[in-house]
Amino acid sequence: MTAESTNPKAWTIGLVGYGEVGRILAEDLRAQDVKVVAYDLKLGGNKAGALREHAATHGVALVASHADLARQSDFIVSAVTASQAVPVAQACAPAVSKNAFFLDFNSASPGAKQRAAKLIDAGGGRYVEGAVMTSIPPYRIKVPLLLGGAAAEELAPLLAQLGFNAKVASTQLGISSAVKMCRSIMIKGLEAMTIECFTTARAYGVEDAVLASFAETFPGIDWEKQGAYFFQRVIEHGRRRAEEVREVAETVREAGLTPWSAQGTAERQAFIADLADEGLFGTRGTKTFARSADWRIEADRILAACKPKSQAS
């Protein structure tokens, strides 16, 4: 760490993952004139142009590898897909700066977080698990964040200076992630069940009766609005959600249970992601994609895609 390590705004912050989360964090950190470097595997693919354009607009330096990022960073934030949490730690560990903080933002199981921590700590860094407790876009850098691990109490006040809304859940690794994973059994499950329930109801023409019943049982929820929101989020982020819920299923297994519900949720999320990748809901990156205020439009698209070819006409 540098002599300025107690002043986080003087840090170089490395973002591994320059997707939606990484770009939001970059924008909010650069707005404070904090130096940001970033790396993403997509920099070598057909989406590199959009990432490079965003980085240039906001003054983010893109680097060529995990190792390049780790060497330059006083503080690393890993914000990738759940399955990449341990591989990212493995890629950064050999080059991590001594005593650099490594905040794992990823929705991985407690066991995965513990494996990642061993890699970073063995490399001389200080691993902290972070559990993001709700959707990031509305809150941006101030999204509620639970921290865990031996270095969590030291990192928490430094994060506050950068505008994060973080609190320490435990100095024991895995507790924060367990909270996140257990929450996701319910939240991601509700998304999947809503899509399955609403779309099936639409197929039988009974959606109005079903929603009226929900409104009577749960009068505090606007089911039309909630349904539209769930459809949109899964259409746009189903691939990432499916990966997360597979980690949820692993968390359930680590507890000794069979993850029947989590497995089903992951399959439904992945099913919608497959349809989105096929272009069923429009083109990614345009206003036509996952932006309908009426969930029925999306349900009808799903039903049309699922209808046997003999009935399609």
Percentage of the chain exceeding pLDDT 70:
94
Q: Do 116 and 148 have their domain in common?
A: yes
pLDDT of amino acid 284: 54
Residues β-bridged to residue 176? none
In a domain, 1, yes or no: no
pLDDT of amino acid 5: 64
pLDDT of amino acid 293: 81
**What is the C-alpha to C-alpha distance for residues 41 and 54, in angstroms, rounded to an integer?**
16
Asked whether the beta carbons of 85 and 113 are under 8 A apart, the reply is: yes
pLDDT of amino acid 313: 46
- Domain with residue 200: its CATH number is 1.10.1040.10
> Which is nearest to 155 in space by CA: 22, 5, 31?
5
pLDDT of amino acid 37: 98
The average confidence (pLDDT) of the chain is: 92
> pLDDT tens digit string along 258-286?
999 999 999 999 999 999 999 999 865 54
> pLDDT tens digit string along 163-192?
999 999 999 999 999 999 999 999 999 999
pLDDT of amino acid 45: 79
> Which is nearest to 97 in space by CA: 170, 40, 14?
14
> pLDDT tens digit string along 11-41?
999 999 999 999 999 999 999 999 999 999 9
Q: Do 136 and 243 have their domain in common?
A: no
For residue 131, the enclosing domain spans 8-173
In a domain, 187, yes or no: yes
Comparing 2-6, 100-104, 235-239, the range with the smallest average pLDDT is: 2-6
**The domain boundary residue, chosen from 173, 196, 221:** 173
The answer, yes or no, to whether residue 287 has pLDDT greater than 70, is no
Residue type at 129? E
**What is the C-alpha to C-alpha distance for residues 126 and 282, in angstroms, rounded to an integer?**
43
Q: Do 161 and 181 have their domain in common?
A: no
Q: Do 93 and 226 have their domain in common?
A: no
- Domain with residue 100: its CATH number is 3.40.50.720
**The domain boundary residue, chosen from 173, 208, 243:** 173
Q: How many residues are there in the chain?
A: 313
Distances (CA, A) of 91 to 200, 214, 218: 44, 48, 47
Distances (CA, A) of 16 to 12, 179, 246, 248, 277: 13, 23, 21, 22, 24
In a domain, 98, yes or no: yes
In a domain, 250, yes or no: yes
Q: What are 110's two structure tokens?
A: 């407690």
Interhelix angle 260-277/295-306, nearest 10 degrees: 90
The answer, yes or no, to whether residue 69 has pLDDT greater than 60, is yes
**The domain boundary residue, chosen from 126, 148, 173:** 173
pLDDT of amino acid 1: 46
More confident position, 46 or 102: 102
The answer, yes or no, to whether residue 311 has pLDDT greater than 80, is no
